[in-house]
Structure 1
Amino acid sequence: MVQASYTAIKHKIEKEILKLQRQAEALRGPVIASIVKTMREYDITPDDVSAAYAKKSTHVRAKKAAPAAPGAKRSVPVKYRHPETGQSWTGRGKAPRWLTSAEAEGASRDSFLIK
């Protein structure tokens, strides 16, 4: 019974799709007629349209920047450096152990700033 129901619903949907496709095609006719009428009015040839469309397409493609690779990260300049060990930190994320232990001993974070 489920199979029969599925088949009937599928057939009904396919029939509706065909009906909508015919309606869409019927809508195109007047639009194309209007475009052709305007082209004749302004003495525009299909070659003119093709050339203009090609220029537009290449112009748009030239402006688009390549998308960044997923996971690509840019480097961040180092902001803090330990004077004795040379260890560094950008200032982003969790503070490193060498910095937190130095702060616990009373040192100021600003004393490790790179100037």
Structure 2
Amino acid sequence: MASNREQDMMQMQQDAVRRVMEMQRQAQARVHPEEKPPPAKSNSSSKPQPPPNREPPPPKPQPKPPAGKSGLLEGILSNTGLDKEQLLLLGLGYLLYKEGADHKLLLSILYLLL
């Protein structure tokens, strides 16, 4: 009975090692899709071989956004000295004013800007 438990335990450990290696292969395939994953080997040894350490490729530089209308708008808004929340409240107040909102509501939004 004890040897049966030991065999079961050994089989579960080998199965766990196999699953870990499979997950590592899948992760490497997702990180480096252009490289082909190594073929699966069935090792009967009890000690798994660690995967070789690979240097990740250097990160690609991010393309700069065009300095068109959005750059001009960002420049104007950054020169106002207001943060994003205050600009959002001003925009909301302007929109509500154009829609004919209640004056008390507009005053409460302006109060939040203080």
Q: What's the TM-score, normalizing by structure 1?
A: 0.28
Rg larger in structure = 1
Q: With the length of structure 2 as denominator, give the TM-score of the two structures.
A: 0.29
